Amino acid sequence: MSDVDSQKDLYIYGRTVEISTKYEFIKVLGSGQYGKAHSARNLETGEVFAVKTINKSRFRFSDRKYQFDAMRNEIAITRALQHPNIITLFEVYENETDLHLVMELCQGGELFDRIKAKKQYSELQAQSVLRQIASALVCLHQNKIAHCDLKPDNFLFDGPNDDAKVKIIDFGMARALRRREYLKHLRGTPYYIAPEVLEGQYSEHCDMWSFGVVMFVMLFGFPPFHGNSDQEIFDSIRKGFQPEVKAGWGPWFPSALTVSTSAQDLIGRLLTKDPISRLSAEEVLDHPWIQGKDVPSHPLPLTVVSNLNNFIKKTRFTNEVLSYLTQNTMSTEEYLALARTFRFIDKNNDGTLSCEEFRQALQETENRPVNIEQLQKIVELADLDGDGTISWKELLLATTARRLAAKEDRLWASFKNIDLDGDGRLSVDELVQALNLPEETVRGMIQEVDIDGNGFVDYEEFLLILSDAQLDAVGGETDGGLGQINELVATPVLERGE
């Protein structure tokens, strides 16, 4: 292997001086699968930034090359964009183990969390936010960059004040396009995906459909396209949006919630199936509603915020606890067996498992026809981020979920493992220690699942969360669930097939 290849395998951006020579870390802002985010002070200027640290050692097996290439793409795109409503990446530092991205610090929270905190808001306030997002999209699309994952989670405010700027973040799925070039792979989050993305031929115009869905959710409090599974959501998207006022809740304007005619007109022009007929970002900026003409300033109905709370309620508790339990209940032998399975199924070595790759693996190991429809449901069950494939982490969580669901004794043992003082309930301190998350994050997670509102998670709440419905969402026993996938782990052919 040449020195160049060796460097490429070891570094994403390239070795730099140590970040500690330039910045002092202040506190942890959050953590995830691959690392943490800190606030950090520039030692020379005293200015405070956000530093996203990726621990490269957490990239496993075939995931590594894919993740390195994805990070290089994200860095290149983010550094190329300069706009007041797009997150700024200032510097990159890297050594053998860690990659550090120095970014502007946004302390105003996510879009929908901000709306929830306000209790009530108006069309005019929504217009102010959406105008800024549309302006950022003009910059993106003029540079022939498609974000491909516009959703409320990817909009942050730079400060807590009312006039704070909104910023588009997370360019992990973004792609730079050449003239008349189209993307083919499924990207995005189900509720917000454009119909042409589902058909496998799309460009930056997909972002404008997602923008229209975000606008609809902001004004009505629920998504226009919904269902009990990704496939049902996709089927609804393919049928399209009906720009008319009707009773009930669906891909139309609900008669129970009134917004201005101008807002309806803009949404209808955005949720147009034909990308050519759909408004561009520049055309959106010229629309009367975005320009603030005749936009009502009176508060939207309280029902909108209530709907919104129900829609965006997250399952952070479930995922974080399953991550912890995976580390503490899965044996080395089980982990390695699952890793062999992952590598065997991942034929194209892109670090994710597609439905087609599962079909090929099952066909090879069981030598019988595979029910594609059932297999698609299995993939949907474990697909937490909605990208249409199963990552290594998703397979780990789904496998752990299935093992726990098989016997309540395992759930009880897992609960006791976290319940350090043995009082039959999980406190903030116990979950902070177990999950290695900031106290503020843990308190928010507990609020989402604390049914009796006592500030703790007792065993009955834990059982409810980590058994029936929640486990179905991450790979439970429904329709055979991940049973077929887990059976692959025990198949000797897998080891012979490597």
Contact 213, 149 (CB under 8 A): no
Which helix (DSSP H) or strand (DSSP E) does residue 426 occupy?
strand 425-426
* End-to-end CA separation in angstroms for the chain: 22
Cβ atoms within 10 Å of 290's Cβ, excluding its own: 23
Q: Is 266 exposed, middle or buried (0-12, 13-18, 19+ CB in 10 A)?
A: buried
Backbone angles phi, psi at 223, to 5 degrees: -80, 145
Coil vs helix vs strand at 257? coil
438: which 2 tokens? 């900031």
Q: What is the DSSP letter of 280?
A: P
Is 149 annotated in the active site? yes
- Rounded Cα distance between 406 and 486, Å, is 13
**Which residues 6+ apart lie within 8 Å of 367 measured at CB?**
none
Q: Which residue's structure tokens are 């975000």?
A: 214
Helix axes 392-406, 316-329, angle to 10 degrees: 80
Q: Which of 63, 149, 207, 383 is catalytic?
A: 149
Q: Which residue's structure tokens are 């959106």?
A: 284
The beta-strand segments (E) located in 251-293 are 253-254
Question: Any idea which residues carry the catalytic annotation?
Answer: 149
